[in-house]
Structure 1
Amino acid sequence: MDKTTDTGGEKDPRPLIEQIETDIYSGKLAPGMWLKQIDLEERYQCTRLTLRHALEQLQARKIVQRVPNRGYYVPSVDQAYANNVRAARAHVEKSIVDELITNITGESLARLSYLASVFSETLKTGTLPEQDEANLAFHRELLTACKNPVMIEIIWDLRRRVPLSAQRASNTPAELERSARDHFEMIECLRTRDADRLRVVTERHVGARPVQR
């Protein structure tokens, strides 16, 4: 967090923004938690000015919320919001299917097959963090075939808008097993260059969950 801007030696808030967002996504800063500035300054070893700029930008992206005269807090994620995020992500990921098929390599397909197997195995014997990391590793490798860094940034931004705790709450064993099967089917679509089928699988894999009544 020691980057500075060109003027006045002010700290660049971008590394701090990324760290706070990562901690919200992972649950270290849990939904409902008030973000006391003095605690965050100590936690991240940053100045109040840099922290304020970071929180303002996170508020603009709806990662945190602010109550006048009280401060910032981590909002809870309801299922309707999570579904809207998933729908947006599915739309974006379907839009790069043709590019993925064009750019995928044999080496990347082999890597994806290995990572899909790792994720499938963690569902049987792994911890929740191991399952999360195995899933993310598969999708990181998948996105290496996309050569548009802005699209990749948008996809990861959308992923981080639903914290892991909220994702886990809606993941039944059957849905996790389906996700594992989707990974293998996505690989087969890439191998056979079946763009239409890959879009269908992507929609199913990312798509919204039924709202609980």
Structure 2
Amino acid sequence: MTEETAAQDTATLARTIETDIYRGTLAPGMWLKQIDLEERYGCTRIALRHALEALQSRKLVQRVRNRGYYVPSMDDALVRDIMDARAKVETSIAEELVANVTDGMLARLSYLATIFADTVKTGTIREQDEANHAFHRELLKACHNQVIIEIIWDLRWRIPISVQRANNTPARMDRSAHEHFEMVEALRLKDAERLREVTARHVTLKDRGA
């Protein structure tokens, strides 16, 4: 195995573990026993160690000497900080999104906004999350700065679904669905200021009904 292949395998394993943390399979506060993870992911101890080190560098897991790794809990202050960081980054690209969005993208975004609204009414949490991500992936196609896109997704994945849902009442989920349509309309009108305002509200949960 070459160094490049090993690095790719480590990145893939780290991403798989990150997905399980995000979805709550590996829940906040859970200790990560290496032997269990090796069996779960079918990986070697060395590959697992490298993957956990990569996740530790991003604060997705923490290590206690002589005890191992665990998934850290998230307090309200940390969640607010992550959301605030997301809002700052995502609102900073409003002009670029408005400039680059195409009619085809607008049609696709309208369709995906409808799909998300439908899943809010009748879908599972997993379906809602996937529909929400599909909308935002399409939205970010209008951003040509791949580094910013990576930062946005890194921040989005920092807050597990279980933590997000603890703060999302049915009224808030309905509001999120409505905000997707507001974003599409702002893009259609080429109104960057309106897009910034809706995005900030959407990300930080401000001005939503309880």
Q: State if a TM-score over 0.5 links the two structures.
A: yes
Which of 46, 57, 67 is 1:70 aligned to? 67
**CA RMSD after TM alignment:** 1.8
Kept in 2, the 8 Å contact 1:87–1:208? The answer is no
- Counterpart mapping for 1:29-108 below 5 A: 29-108=26-105
Runs of at least 5 residues in structure 1 that lack an aligned partner in the other structure? none
Query: Match of 2:162?
Result: 165
User: Could you tell me how far apart the structure 2 residues matched to 1:158 and 1:124 are?
Assistant: 26
* Aligned residue runs from structure 1 range 120-159, under 5 A: 120-159=117-156
User: Alignment length, in residue pairs?
Assistant: 207
TM-score (norm 2): 0.93
Q: What do the CA deviations read for 1:119-145 (whole angstroms, capped 9, x no partner)?
A: 111111112111111111111111111
Give, in angstroms, the shift of residue 12 of structure 1: 3.7
The answer for the alignment partner of 1:14 in structure 2 is: 11
Segments of 4+ in structure 1 off by > 3 A? Answer: 9-12
Separation (CA, whole Å) in 1 of partners of 2:19 and 2:2? 21
Deviation at 1:33, TM superposition (A): 1.1
Offset, 1:209: 6.3
Asked whether the 8 Å contact 1:41–1:48 carries over to 2, the reply is yes
Aligned: 1:199 with 2:192: no
Counting aligned pairs with the same residue, the percent is 65
- Are the counterparts in 2 of residues 83 and 208 from structure 1 also a CA contact under 8 Å? no
